[in-house]
Amino acid sequence: MAKLRFHIRFPEEKIPEPIIYQIGHEYQVITSIRRADVRETTGWLDVEFCGETEEIERSIEGLREKGVSVDPIELNVVEHEQTHPCTMEFSEEQIQRYSRHIILPDVGGKGQKKIQQAKVLVIGAGGLGSPAALYLGAAGVGTLGLIDGDVVDLSNLQRQVLHTTPNVGVPKVESGQQLLAALNPDVHVQTYQEHISESNILDIIPEYDLILDGSDNFGTRFLVNDACFFAKRTLISGSIFRFEGQLATIKPHEGFPCYRCLYPEPPPAGLVPNCQEAGVLGVLAGTIGVLQANEAIKEILGLGESLAQHLLLYDALEMKFRRVGRPKDPRCPLCSAQPTITTLEEHHVSCSL
């Protein structure tokens, strides 16, 4: 099996997408197609072909016959890789569906494959979970877990875009599964029609690579943090209140701070107003939920800078994003060298300051 790189240039300035699909189809596999930065204006593409050398040569000839210019680069580079990128097979439909990712520098076919292999658990199919699950589903995340014990209520539809009016009264996970299946049949949606609790959480989260917390109370947030710490899973925590949102990526198992390093304890019950009384801007749920999906995709692809050491603060009225430092607490009750919390504990507290 050979891996050969070519510069190819199409007859017109604009790169015709059908040819991209065709490459994927005819030559079985593309490991990456990306616009070479300097050549972008002239329509050059830097393409890797995988397959038997003769087969690739035939393919190149076929392209040339269609008026495509093909220049070999590093023609002598023939690699035999252990984890064979040549076995990545996308259907023609998948190549079309994910073409905007596949042509994107830093994602490509390899990145899309990582997304396809990823397993992400979304806790709460509500305000944050809805937009996050929709974008993760659209991106082609292979397995999406949805856990929520509630049914769709009319008052949810102002922001919970995973649900529709005809589904009022239907369990949220079922409603979510329907919409995700319609959006992208590639995605396997695993549903859990129950509230997450100390009795089920450690059975569920080890099945996933990444956990998104879109829950609506402090008790669950501390429980999820603690369980992710014990199960060594990366947690992307988003929360919203009225016009403000907070976001952080939590991975103490990689030496970064946990949620308790940021807020050691939940507020005591009774000190805080009820979530339902406080209200929330519907669009804010979308903003923060989509940012959670963004950070999830970055974790899957290993791209960019994460919020592992920062807390992102968003104010929808001032339209300001700010990042504050989030150091590891050497006295953290959970993730420090001398922890005082060594098992899961259930917290029953309400939801805001």
Partner 1 sequence: MIKVRIPTPLRPMTGGKGEIEITGNSVGDMIEQLNTSHPGLKDRLCDEHGEVRRFINIYVNEEDIRFLTGKDTPLKEGDEVSIIPAIAGGA
Q: Which residues bind partner 1 (CB under 8 A)?
A: 124, 126-129, 156, 160, 213-218, 221, 238-246, 262-267, 272-273, 275, 278, 280, 285, 311, 313, 318, 322-327, 329, 351-353
For the bound state, the minimum distance from the C-beta of residue 259 to partner 1, rounded and expressed in Å, comes to: 9
Distance separating alpha carbons of residues 189 and 111, to the nearest angstrom: 21
For the bound state, the minimum distance from the C-beta of residue 294 to partner 1, rounded and expressed in Å, comes to: 16
In the complex with partner 1, the residue whose CB is nearer, 67 or 327, is 327
3-state DSSP percent of the chain in helix, strand and coil, to 5: 40, 20, 40
Residue in the block written with tokens 């490509």: 108
For the bound state, the minimum distance from the C-beta of residue 308 to partner 1, rounded and expressed in Å, comes to: 15
In the complex with partner 1, the residue whose CB is nearer, 292 or 306, is 292
SS3 (DSSP) at 26: helix
Check residue 304 and report its DSSP letter. Answer: S
For the bound state, the minimum distance from the C-beta of residue 186 to partner 1, rounded and expressed in Å, comes to: 27
Distance linking the first and last C-alpha atoms of the chain: 61
In the complex with partner 1, the residue whose CB is nearer, 85 or 266, is 266
In the complex with partner 1, the residue whose CB is nearer, 19 or 313, is 313
Kindly provide the residue ranges of all beta strands, DSSP E only, lying in the chain, ordered along the sequence: 2-9, 30-35, 44-51, 69-73, 119-123, 143-147, 188-192, 210-213, 234-241, 244-250, 310-315, 320-325
8 A C-beta contact, residue 46 and residue 5: yes
In the complex with partner 1, the residue whose CB is nearer, 285 or 293, is 285
Q: How far is CA 311 from CA 174, 308, 321, in A?
A: 33, 8, 10
In the complex with partner 1, the residue whose CB is nearer, 18 or 255, is 255
For the bound state, the minimum distance from the C-beta of residue 173 to partner 1, rounded and expressed in Å, comes to: 14
For the bound state, the minimum distance from the C-beta of residue 304 to partner 1, rounded and expressed in Å, comes to: 20
- Token pair belonging to 107: 């994602």
Q: Could you tell me how far CA 139 lies from the centroid of its own chain?
A: 8
For the bound state, the minimum distance from the C-beta of residue 341 to partner 1, rounded and expressed in Å, comes to: 14
Distance separating alpha carbons of residues 51 and 103, to the nearest angstrom: 20
In the complex with partner 1, the residue whose CB is nearer, 189 or 285, is 285
